[in-house]
Amino acid sequence: MHVRYILLAITSYFSIAFGLCYTNGRQGSYSRNQSILDLGDVCRQLSGKYNRLEAQRVCVTDKIDVSWSFELKMIGAGETREIDIEECMDGMKKELMCKPDRGGVHTYWNWRYKVKPGSRNLCFEPPYWKPIGGYDPQDEPKWYTCHEKYAMPWYCWKDKYGLPGYVGA
């Protein structure tokens, strides 16, 4: 009986995240030089209170003329949730550091972080970006039911359907 509680404590200590780093498209340089972009400024714009499934986007151009598209989406099961600057920076930095410097998308318990570099002054370029209110398989109620029933988000992971070039059943 005690072993179960110990395992539960250990597994709840680690944050669970799923996603990918992009392997094609424009390459950025943030992983080699973090001073080219003020991530704090980006997250000041993205921090605050979100309703369930609400997404916000920010586009900035770094000091070497690479445009960066950022998206933060609240995917938790609750009605609303707040995110502060530090939590936002932690998630976005992981996407900026994705190798080979082409950004990425990762889903954590309550938030989905997405970052992609682009050509100067061009943000949210297809095929990586859907319309902000566009269909996303993870928005389906059955995904949340699965997530809560099994308490194992990897069992319910569906983001592959939102990837560019994916042709699925």
Report the chain (169 residues): mean pLDDT per 10 consecutive residues: 44 52 89 95 98 93 93 90 97 92 88 89 78 65 46 46 39
Domain 15-133 has CATH 1.10.20: no
CB 116 within 8 Å of CB 128: yes
User: CB neighbours (10 Å) of residue 102?
Assistant: 18
pLDDT of residue 158: 47
Where do the domains of the chain lie?
A: 15-133
pLDDT of residue 150: 46
State the first-to-last Cα distance of the chain, in angstroms, to the nearest integer. 43
pLDDT of residue 138: 54
CB 130 within 8 Å of CB 136: yes
**Which pTM does this prediction carry?**
0.73
pLDDT of residue 125: 80
Nearest to 144 by CA among 48, 17, 52: 52
